[in-house]
Amino acid sequence: MRKMAFGWYGGWGGRGYRWMFYLTGRPGWLRFGFSPGWLGRSPTGLPPTATYLLQTGQLPRFVSWMKEQWKRATTAATTTAAPTKEQEIAMLEEEAKFLEEQLKQIRQRLSELKKE
């Protein structure tokens, strides 16, 4: 009978603990916060970006910027209405013109390559 393989820190399948990734959806180097992987490498246990912001005093400005980005993203997502019929027609006509121009350029390039 084969033994079950255990990864580092007792995780299954050799991946170690994945709870922080599953919680945030971001790997440790991308998160702004505690990650077990930074213990011993960083004096605070935070990733390099967070440590830099703390040491340089830029954290309050970064936090206010993040709040502004969050506010902008949530208001854009909630206030976006479906386009009217006229807006949709104009948008589709513009898209058709763009695609026709691309097709024209592709055909021109094909004819240049065939002549060579």
Residue 41 has which token pair? 């490498």
- Residue 51 and residue 113: Cα distance in Å, rounded? 55
Q: What is the pLDDT of residues 22-53, one digit of tens each?
A: 666 666 556 566 566 677 777 777 777 778 88
What is the percent of the chain with per-residue pLDDT over 90, rounded to a whole number? 25
User: How large is the average pLDDT for residues 85-110?
Assistant: 94
Give the torsion sign (CA, 52, 55, 58, 63): positive
The pLDDT assigned to 7 comes to 46
pLDDT at 15 over 60: no
Average pLDDT estimate for 59-69: 85
